Amino acid sequence: MKESELDIQNIDPTLYNEDLAPLKHRDRSWGAFEIFNVWSNDIQSLFGYTLAASLFLTYGLNGWAVMAAIILAGVIVMYLVNLTGKPSVKYGIPFPVMVRASMGVRGANLPAMLRAIIGIFWYGVQTYFASTAVALLITAFVGDGDGSTFLGLSAVAWVSFVIVWLFQIAIFWQGIERIKHFLNWAGPLVYVVMVVLMIVVWFQAGSELLPAVSTIFSADTERSGSAVGAFLAIVGTMVAYFAAVVINFGDFTRFVKTERQMKLGNLLGLPLNVAFFSFIALIITAGTLVLFGDALTNPADIVERVDSLPLTIVAALTFFAATVGINLVANFIPPAYDLANLFPSKISFKVGGLITAVLAFFVGALWVSLISQIGVPGFVNALGAVIAPFYGIIVVDYYLVKRQHLDMQELFSSAPGSAYYYVKGWNRRALMAFGGAALFSISTVLVPALSGLNGYGWMMGAALGGLFYYGLMSSQRSVSIARDA
């Protein structure tokens, strides 16, 4: 029996279903292009553009410096996901099964559920952002309505939100292959429209555009602290934006044929892709300041100001497709697996996805009136900080503690004494490492006295999680060796 295969007769049914089982190499159909498109859609979503554009305006740095910080974040994330993606390429297992090795076969439910909650939040938020593109299209034909709102959304906005929500359910219900096909055409298409929008804005702004790139962003904003500190804060914020996908990247790489294809997809999809997209965001944002006197960070608002019906139609459809694409991949697949891991015999991948969609409906509906009020960068940092320590724990466990070898059979066993049973299915040392590191990382976001570290929370939390875990597990091995002697 190969190391990625299971003896079905000797597994715990409370830890297994077909969606969680190791995926055989012959059943994998993803290559570098699919991984590239995971990142393309993540970066190109309306929320991703809004975050990138807001960073040009928030920290008071020269626009080129902000772009460099965003690209550096892409390089960092590339190396981070190469580490978390490798085990799932080798064994074909999703994140909640992979994390059993470090947290325990029952303890894995903690990171899985926290990741599911974050995925559900992102799913709701991205559903709202995708609905703004549909609202833009509807408004172009029927107008804005009478101006009345409920929970901050107009009638057109509510109709658009429900349309997007139902459309996503229809797509994911057809399975992972349908999601892959949707993603593969949505990612490249959005670049075409973004480039066209950039050219239109650049042409209309004329000779004033390039000076604006170099001066406007820093001219109107007071910066507290050093330029280096602001640069590093932008890097940290962008890493935190990708944090949820970084943690559970194995949910995607289990479909990839080889590690080489995964790494090529990450290279094309992260630093190179981020560089191009950041340039587009920089030019368009500078152009809106020149043309309209306002910094517009939502592409839907920009298209509306340009006032071209053909561009409005094409842009609305493309923004919708790109945002729905990343929502299905980054925010549907992980919670679906995570919820399935909680009760494998009762919750399948599809049922987990349906639960995700229902809960996310309420998150998206409250985005304008409540959730968005805490600010986009703060929202990203807070969510990322919660799960940051798990990254360090997973990487240290796989590469330093387990030496890149996992026992697939034991990952689906809850027998006392089995490799990943620990204490009643929980690795208490991993739990302690997570608690200590998470307390610090979330404090950098929520405690005013630590606000100077805001933006670095995810990276510091991940580093501390790995450090604490390695120290605790090393002390355990020392005790075991002493007892044996």
Element (H, E) at 154: strand 153-154
- The pLDDT score that the predictor gives to residue 482 is 44
| Local confidence band at 381 (pLDDT 50, 70, 90 cut-offs) | low
Q: Please list, in sequence order, all residues whose beta carbon lies within 8 angstroms of the beta carbon of residue 334, skipping any fewer than 6 positions away.
A: 95, 115, 116, 119, 244, 245, 248, 251
Closest CA to 360 of 128, 109, 47: 128
Q: Which amino acid is present at 73?
A: A
Residue type at position 232 = L
User: What span, in angstroms and rounded, lies between the C-alpha atoms of 24 and 159?
Assistant: 42
Helix (H) or strand (E) holding 179: helix 176-205
DSSP H or E run through 150: strand 149-150
For range 120-148, the mean pLDDT: 82
Class of domain 14-376: mainly alpha
pLDDT at position 454 is 64
Average pLDDT of every residue of the chain:
83
The answer, yes or no, to whether residue 195 has pLDDT greater than 80, is yes
For residue range 36-95, what is the model confidence (pLDDT) as tens digits? Answer: 988 887 787 767 777 877 887 777 777 778 888 989 999 999 999 999 999 999 999 999
Cβ 400 vs Cβ 1: under 8 Å: no
The owner of tokens 């790109």 is 322
Q: φ and ψ at 426, to 5 degrees?
A: -120, 135
- Nearest CA-CA partner of 102 in 402, 388, 447: 402
> How far is it, in rounded angstroms, from Cα 429 to Cα 472?
6
| Planar angle of CA 275, 460, 238, nearest 5 degrees | 25
pLDDT at 478: 54
Banded model confidence at residue 139, pLDDT cuts 50, 70, 90: confident
Cα dihedral 281, 285, 291, 294, rounded to 10, equals 150
What's 79-120 look like in SS3?
HHHHHHHHHHHHHCCCHHHHCHHHHCCCCCHHHHHHHHHHHH
User: Considering only 216-220, 407-411, 417-421, which range has the smallest mean pLDDT?
Assistant: 216-220
Angle between helices 209-219 and 63-91 (to 10 degrees): 90
Over 80: is that where the pLDDT of 330 sits? Answer: no
Q: Which amino acid is at 113?
A: M
The 10s digit of each residue's pLDDT in 384-405 is 678 889 999 999 999 999 999 9
For residues 164-169, give the mean pLDDT: 92
Tokens 């170099």 appear where?
Answer: 214
pLDDT of the residue at 5? 64
Q: Report the phi/psi class of residue 453: left, alpha or beta, with left for phi > 0 and alpha for psi in -120 to 50.
A: alpha
Distance CA 153, CA 297 (A): 19
Q: 3-class DSSP state for residue 63?
A: helix
> Band of the pLDDT at 455, cuts 50, 70, 90?
low
Burial class (CB in 10 A: 0-12, 13-18, 19+), 15: buried
pTM: 0.84
Q: What are phi and psi of 30, to 5 degrees?
A: -90, 145
Q: What is the pLDDT of residue 219?
A: 42
Give the residue from 38, 23, 19, 27 showing the smallest Cα distance to 328: 38
Residue 19 tokens, joined: 């969606």
Mean pLDDT, range 157-184, rounded to an integer = 87
Percent of the chain with pLDDT over 70: 89
| Secondary structure tally for the chain: helices H, strands E | 22, 2
In this predicted structure, what is the pLDDT of residue 4? 53
The predicted structure's pLDDT at residue 57: 74
Residue 458, pLDDT > 80, answer yes
259 versus 480: which is more confidently predicted?
Answer: 259
CB 188 within 8 A of CB 40: yes
Distance between CA atoms of residues 324 and 23, nearest Å: 26
Structure tokens at 85: 């993606």
Cα-Cα end-to-end distance for the chain: 35
Residue with token string 């190391």: 3
Half-sphere exposure in the Cβ direction for 14 (13 Å, CA):
7
pLDDT beyond 90 at 280: no
Q: What are phi and psi of 440, to 5 degrees?
A: -70, -50
Would you state the structure tokens that stand for residue 386, as one six-digit string? 């919660």
Mean pLDDT of 249-265: 95
